[in-house]
Chain A
Amino acid sequence: MSGNVETGLGPRTRRLLAGWAWVVFAFLYVPIAVLVVFSFNASSRVNIWGGFSFQWYGEALNNEVITSAIRVSLIVAAVSTAVSVVLGTAVALALDRYRFKGRRALDGTIYLPIVIPDITMAVMLLVFFAEAFKLIDTFGPRFTLGISTIALSHIAFNISFVCVVVRARLDQFDRTLEEAARDLYATGWQTFRRVTLPLIMPGIAAGGLLALTLSLDDVVISAFVAGPGSTTLPVYVFSSIRRGVTPELNAISTLMLTASITLVLGALALQRRRASASQQTQVL
C-alpha cells in the first residue's frame, strides 16, 4: 500500500512536508553543530575558522575557576540525585500503596515543582533559606549560601521528577507478585527487597538519570542559591557569557552537551526496557 492512500496526501504535498521537516531539523541542530565545530577552532576569534585544535579544551580544563565549578556541579548532582532517588521513591510508594490523611493533597502538590517556573522556585528557595538561616543563627551556628544550599534546592525539585517516573512504574506493578512472595514465606521486607524493588528498579534508575541531568543543567535556581566561591558549571558559563563568547565556553558547552546526551540516552534505554517488561506482565 502506498502512503498517499492512507493519508490522503498527494505526492507533491508529501515532498513538501518532508522538505519542511528537514528545515525544522536544521533549525534545531545547526546551532549545536556550529558550537561543536567551533569548540575545535584553533583561532581565538570565535567566528573565524583557524584550523582544528583541542587547544580550548586544554585551556578550559586548566582554568581553576572552571574546574572548581565542574567539581561543585558533580558533587551537587551526585548528592541531590542520591537523596532525591531515595525520598522520591519513598513518596511514590506511599502515594501508591497507602490511604492516609492528606494523601490527596500531597498527590496533587508533589508535582508542583515540575510545573512552576524555575524563577519562582528560585526566589522561593532564596527567601526560605534567608528565613531559615535567621532562625538557625539564633541558636548559634552560622550558615551561608553555598554548595549545601544548591544541593538542597536541587533535591527539592528532583524529588518530584523521581516520584513521577517511579509512580508510572508502580502503576503497572502486579501486586499479586508480592502476595506470591508472602505466600512463599518471604517477610514483608524480603518481599520488597526480592520482588518489588527489582521490578521497579528500571523506573528508579530512569528517575535517577533524569534527576542527574536536571541537576547538571540547572542555571536559574543554582544562580540564586549559590554563594561566593561555590558556582556550578552552568552558572559559570552563564555569567562569563556576558563578557563575550570565548572558544573556551564552546569547549565547555560541548562537554556538557555530551554528558547530557549520554544521560538522556541512558534514560531512554531504561524506559525501553521498562516498556518491554510491562509487555511481559501483560502476557503473564
Chain B
Amino acid sequence: MTGAVAAVEIDGVTKRFGEVVAVDNVDLAIDDGEFFALLGPSGCGKTTTLRMIAGLDLPTEGSLRIFGEEVGMAPPDLRPVNTVFQAYALFPHMTVRQNIEFGLRMRRVKDPELSQRVAEATGMVRLSGMEDRRPDQLSGGQQQRVALARALVNQPKVLLLDEPLGALDLKLRQEMQQELKALQRSVGITFVFVTHDQEEALAMSERIGVMSEGRLLQVGTPREIYERPASRFVADFIGRTNLLDASVEPAGEVRLANGARIEAETSLPAGSEVSVSLRPERARLQPRGTAAAEGSSLDGQVRDITYLGHAVVYEVAVGEMSVEVRVEGETGQPFAPGDDVTISWDHGAAAVVAD
C-alpha cells in the first residue's frame, strides 16, 4: 500500500434507474494493491457500483476517481480498469488467444510485445497449450481463467470481478479462491470483487464493504465486520448470529428484553433500542448453576439439538427468546432436550448493534 492516492475513490455517488435508486450516496476509498470485496444480497447495488467503476453504467450524481483521475463520465474504453464478468462473457467466435489479445489489439499493441504478453498471461492462469481452442471447448474453470487472463493481460490499474466464482461448483470454487488470492498477491493490482457469498468475502478479501438497499453500511477488515458489526443487518448477514432485543441503561449497561442485565460495550446513548449480537460459537453451555463468575450469562432450557459431526448446535429457550449455541469438538457429557442450562460468554464476545 502506498496510502497516498486511493486506487478507487467514490464520492457521494448515486445511481438512479428511473424511480429506482440502485446506489444511494456511497462514499468509498479503495487502497492501491488492496483485495476489496463488495458484499451484499442481490439487488443491494454492489454490481451497479462495480459497473460504474468500469464505466458500463454512469453515475447519476457524485464523482468517481481512479488513482486521482476523475473518470465518472468517461466511456469504458478510456478507463484503466478491466472486468471479469459474471458469466465470463468470452467471445464465442474467437479462440482463447484471440480472446486474450483483444484488449491489446484494441490498444494497437504490436508484436513482439503482443505475443509475449499474451504468452505471459496465458501461462499465469495455466492455460498454455489451449490457445487455439474455442470457449465452448473449455470447462467452466478454464473459461474463468481465460476471462482472468483476458483482463490481466492489459495490466489494468484496477481489476473488477463480478461474482467471479458464482458459476463454478463448490470444490472448484474453493480452489479458485486460493488461486485468485495468490494471483492478486503476485500481480499486485487492486482487485475489487462483488459477491453475495459472505464466506467467500471473509476468506478472500483484505477489506469488505457491506451493502444493502443501495447503501454502503460498513467498511472494514473481515475481522472487524464479523466481530464488530455496525448494524443489525451486518451482524445478521455475515455468519450466523443470535440477535437479542435489548436497550441501553444509564450506567452503560445493556438490558435484554427479558430483563437480564449483561455486560457489553456501547457508545449508544441510554434509552436506545438495540440488539445484542451473540455468535453461536462464542457462547458456552453449562449445566445450570455452574457458570463462571466472569462475563455474562443467561439461564435457559435446551429445546432442540442438531448434530453436525464436528459440532453440535443447541437451541436454547431463554424465556420468550431462542438462543443458538454451537459447541465445537464437544467433550464431556452432551445435553439432552429439557435440560436446564446456563449460556455464558466472555466479556466482549457479544456486540451491541443499533437497529
CB of B53, distance to nearest CB on chain A (Å): 11
Binds A, one of B89-97, B203-211, B344-352: B89-97
Q: Please tell me if the beta carbons of B154 and A180 are within 8 angstroms of each other in the complex.
A: no
Which of B56, B81, B86, B89 is most buried by chain A, counting CB atoms within 10 A of its CB?
B89
Q: Please tell me if the beta carbons of B136 and A183 are within 8 angstroms of each other in the complex.
A: no
A179 within 8 A of B: yes
Q: Please tell me if the beta carbons of B77 and A182 are within 8 angstroms of each other in the complex.
A: yes
B88 within 8 A of A: yes
Main secondary structure of the interface of B (DSSP, over half): mixed
A198 within 8 A of B: yes
CB of A200, distance to nearest CB on chain B (Å): 11
Q: Which residues of chain A from 11 to 65 have any CB-CB distance to chain B below 8 Å in the complex?
A: none
Binds A, one of B101-109, B264-272, B275-283, B300-308: B101-109
Q: Please tell me if the beta carbons of A280 and B103 are within 8 angstroms of each other in the complex.
A: no
Collect the chain A residues with CB atoms within 8 Å of residue B150's CB: 184
A280 and B92 contact, Cβ closer than 8 Å, known pairs A181-B102, A183-B82, A186-B106: yes
A2 within 8 A of B: no
Q: Which of chain B's residues has its CB closest to A175's CB?
A: B89
Q: Which of chain B's residues has its CB closest to A198's CB?
A: B93
Taken together as a complex, chains A and B put the C-alpha atoms of A182 and B135 apart, in Å, by 19
Q: Which residues of chain A from 180 to 209 have any CB-CB distance to chain B below 8 Å in the complex?
A: 180-187, 190, 194-195, 198-199
When each residue 139-176 of chain A gets 1 if its CB lies under 8 Å from chain B and 0 otherwise, what string results? 00000000000000000000000000000000000101
Q: Please tell me if the beta carbons of A284 and B135 are within 8 angstroms of each other in the complex.
A: yes
Collect the chain A residues with CB atoms within 8 Å of residue B91's CB: 177, 180-181, 195
B87 within 8 A of A: yes
Collect the chain A residues with CB atoms within 8 Å of residue B195's CB: none
Q: Please tell me if the beta carbons of B76 and A183 are within 8 angstroms of each other in the complex.
A: yes
A277 within 8 A of B: yes
Q: Please tell me if the beta carbons of A179 and B154 are within 8 angstroms of each other in the complex.
A: no
B83 within 8 A of A: yes
Q: Which residues of chain B from 38 to 87 have any CB-CB distance to chain A below 8 Å in the complex?
A: 54-56, 75-77, 81-83, 85-87
* CB < 8 Å neighbour of B143 from A174, A176, A277, A284: A284
Taken together as a complex, chains A and B put the C-alpha atoms of A186 and B104 apart, in Å, by 10
Q: Please tell me if the beta carbons of B106 and A184 are within 8 angstroms of each other in the complex.
A: yes
Taken together as a complex, chains A and B put the C-alpha atoms of A199 and B93 apart, in Å, by 7
CB of A116, distance to nearest CB on chain B (Å): 37
Q: Please tell me if the beta carbons of A185 and B89 are within 8 angstroms of each other in the complex.
A: no
A7 within 8 A of B: no
A284 and B154 contact, Cβ closer than 8 Å, known pairs A180-B85, A183-B56, A185-B107: no
Q: Please tell me if the beta carbons of A183 and B87 are within 8 angstroms of each other in the complex.
A: no
CB of B74, distance to nearest CB on chain A (Å): 12
Collect the chain B residues with CB atoms within 8 Å of residue A184's CB: 77, 82, 102-103, 106, 150-151, 154
Q: Please tell me if the beta carbons of B106 and A284 are within 8 angstroms of each other in the complex.
A: no
Taken together as a complex, chains A and B put the C-alpha atoms of A183 and B86 apart, in Å, by 14
Q: Please tell me if the beta carbons of B56 and A179 are within 8 angstroms of each other in the complex.
A: yes
A115 within 8 A of B: no
Collect the chain A residues with CB atoms within 8 Å of residue B88's CB: 284
A186 and B92 contact, Cβ closer than 8 Å, known pairs A179-B85, A180-B85, A283-B136: no
A281 within 8 A of B: yes
Taken together as a complex, chains A and B put the C-alpha atoms of A239 and B85 apart, in Å, by 61
A199 and B103 contact, Cβ closer than 8 Å, known pairs A179-B56, A184-B150: no
Taken together as a complex, chains A and B put the C-alpha atoms of A179 and B56 apart, in Å, by 7
Taken together as a complex, chains A and B put the C-alpha atoms of A163 and B86 apart, in Å, by 31
CB of B141, distance to nearest CB on chain A (Å): 14
Taken together as a complex, chains A and B put the C-alpha atoms of A181 and B99 apart, in Å, by 10
Q: Please tell me if the beta carbons of B75 and A176 are within 8 angstroms of each other in the complex.
A: no
Q: Please tell me if the beta carbons of A185 and B85 are within 8 angstroms of each other in the complex.
A: no
Q: Please tell me if the beta carbons of A186 and B77 are within 8 angstroms of each other in the complex.
A: yes
CB of A175, distance to nearest CB on chain B (Å): 9
Collect the chain A residues with CB atoms within 8 Å of residue B77's CB: 182-187
Collect the chain A residues with CB atoms within 8 Å of residue B87's CB: 174, 176, 284
Taken together as a complex, chains A and B put the C-alpha atoms of A174 and B86 apart, in Å, by 13
Collect the chain A residues with CB atoms within 8 Å of residue B75's CB: 182
Q: Which of chain A's residues has its CB closest to B134's CB?
A: A280
CB of A170, distance to nearest CB on chain B (Å): 15
Q: Please tell me if the beta carbons of A183 and B83 are within 8 angstroms of each other in the complex.
A: yes
Which of B82, B86, B92, B154 is most buried by chain A, counting CB atoms within 10 A of its CB?
B92
Taken together as a complex, chains A and B put the C-alpha atoms of A195 and B81 apart, in Å, by 20
Q: Please tell me if the beta carbons of B92 and A180 are within 8 angstroms of each other in the complex.
A: no
A177 and B89 contact, Cβ closer than 8 Å, known pairs A184-B82, A184-B154, A185-B106: yes
Q: Please tell me if the beta carbons of B103 and A284 are within 8 angstroms of each other in the complex.
A: no
Q: Please tell me if the beta carbons of B92 and A284 are within 8 angstroms of each other in the complex.
A: yes
Taken together as a complex, chains A and B put the C-alpha atoms of A156 and B265 apart, in Å, by 78
Q: Which of chain A's residues has its CB closest to B106's CB?
A: A185
Q: Please tell me if the beta carbons of B135 and A180 are within 8 angstroms of each other in the complex.
A: no
Taken together as a complex, chains A and B put the C-alpha atoms of A66 and B166 apart, in Å, by 65
Q: Please tell me if the beta carbons of B56 and A190 are within 8 angstroms of each other in the complex.
A: no
Q: Which of chain A's residues has its CB closest to B56's CB?
A: A179
Collect the chain B residues with CB atoms within 8 Å of residue A186's CB: 77, 102, 106
Q: Please tell me if the beta carbons of B82 and A176 are within 8 angstroms of each other in the complex.
A: no
Q: Please tell me if the beta carbons of A174 and B93 are within 8 angstroms of each other in the complex.
A: no
CB of B107, distance to nearest CB on chain A (Å): 5
27 contacts between A and B (CB under 8 A): A176-B87, A176-B89, A177-B89, A179-B89, A180-B90, A181-B91, A182-B75, A182-B76, A183-B54, A183-B76, A183-B83, A183-B151, A184-B150, A185-B106, A185-B107, A186-B106, A187-B77, A194-B102, A198-B93, A199-B92, A199-B93, A280-B136, A281-B92, A284-B87, A284-B88, A284-B89, A284-B136
Interface residues, chain A, with chain B CB atoms under 8 Å away: 174, 176-177, 179-187, 190, 194-195, 198-199, 277, 280-281, 283-284
Given contacts A181-B102, A190-B106, A284-B143, 6 further A-B contacts (CB under 8 A): A174-B89, A184-B106, A185-B77, A185-B107, A195-B91, A281-B92
The list of the 7 closest CB pairs from A to B, nearest first, reads A184-B103, A180-B89, A185-B106, A176-B89, A182-B76, A280-B136, A185-B77
